[in-house]
Amino acid sequence: MLTEPELTRYQRQMIITGWGEEGQQKLNRAKVLVAGAGGLGSAILTYLAAAGVGQIRVIDSDRVELSNLNRQTLYTSQDIGLEKVAAAKQKLEAFNPNIRVEAIHEEITEGNVFDLVADYPIVDAMDNLTTRYLLNKVAVRRNLPLFHGAVHGFEGRATTIIPDETPCLRCIYQGVVADKTPVAGVTPGIIGCIQATEVIKYLVGIGELLTGRLLVYDGFGLTFTELKVSKDPSCHECARSEKGE
Ligand SMILES: [Zn+2]
């Protein structure tokens, strides 16, 4: 049952067709993992918290730096030096006291990724392909949805991966991408909001997901392009028959 303050807080979204109190209760009961509390994470976390996603586990090993503040809108100048996840938890729980944020100040590695993810749907808000591949590996092996987003300058991309149904990240990308890419602050805001849109639709069970499609956004020319993506039959992550850990 939703409380009176919850009915009021969420009234404008519950009147969306297919959402209703039932959809809101699904969100309230949901657990989601957000890997990364940077630019993408700021947008994703804000809107998942606003929508009432009941439990959010956020993982990031960084502390807030001045050079983050052109795009990481969860933080203020007073937060410089603080753990990002601690500052994020404090902001988000103040923003929506109905939700709980589990702050994990750790680097995601090959050794801990399976424990950190547990069985939560995964939102990829990372800034490097190496960690993205680790998240992809867990998603494929545990059959968990993976909501991917990435940004570079004024460009961004997003796709939703449902293992077995859609290509995985390894089917789509090869190789590695350089660290410290340029970023206009608005770009992770836009892509993060697209990822949050996907998570919310997935949890409530409404709309069409961005599956089998890579959405490419170009803020310079202001275009959205959609590329069809297919499973790679020789993908070493998702094409093999045995799924062991
Ligand atoms: Zn694959």
Q: Are strands 213-218 and 223-228 parallel, antiparallel or unpaired?
A: antiparallel
- What tens digit of pLDDT does each residue of 193-241 get? 999 999 999 999 999 999 999 999 999 999 999 999 999 999 999 996 5
User: What's the 187 CA to ligand 1 centre distance in angstroms?
Assistant: 27
**Helix/strand/coil for 93:** helix
Alpha-carbon span 74 to 62, nearest angstrom: 14
User: What's the 49 CA to ligand 1 centre distance in angstroms?
Assistant: 31
Long-range Cβ contact pairs of 5-14 (< 8 A, separation 24 or more): 5/98, 6/52, 6/98, 9/52, 9/96, 9/98, 10/51, 10/52, 13/51
User: What's the 148 CA to ligand 1 centre distance in angstroms?
Assistant: 14
Q: Higher model confidence: residue 230 or residue 244? A: 230
User: What's the 169 CA to ligand 1 centre distance in angstroms?
Assistant: 6
First-residue to last-residue Cα distance in the chain? 39
User: What's the 232 CA to ligand 1 centre distance in angstroms?
Assistant: 6
User: What's the 234 CA to ligand 1 centre distance in angstroms?
Assistant: 8
User: What's the 135 CA to ligand 1 centre distance in angstroms?
Assistant: 13
Dihedral sign (CA 149, 150, 153, 156) = negative
pLDDT at 118 exceeding the cut of 90: yes
User: What's the 166 CA to ligand 1 centre distance in angstroms?
Assistant: 8
Residue 177: pLDDT band by 50, 70, 90 thresholds?
low
Q: Would you state the structure tokens that stand for residue 94, as one six-digit string?
A: 């103040």
- What tens digit of pLDDT does each residue of 48-97 get? 999 999 999 999 999 999 999 999 999 999 999 999 999 999 999 999 99
Q: What is the mean pLDDT of the chain?
A: 95
What confidence score (pLDDT) does residue 240 get?
66
User: What's the 239 CA to ligand 1 centre distance in angstroms?
Assistant: 6
Domains identified in the chain and CATH numbers: 4-228 (3.40.50.720)
* Residue 110 main-chain phi, psi, to 5 deg: -55, -35
pLDDT at 142 exceeding the cut of 70: yes
User: What's the 145 CA to ligand 1 centre distance in angstroms?
Assistant: 13
Residues 157/217, Cβ–Cβ less than 8 Å: yes
User: What's the 94 CA to ligand 1 centre distance in angstroms?
Assistant: 39
pTM of the prediction? 0.96
Q: Which amino acid is at 13?
A: Q
115: CB partners within 8 A, 6+ apart: none
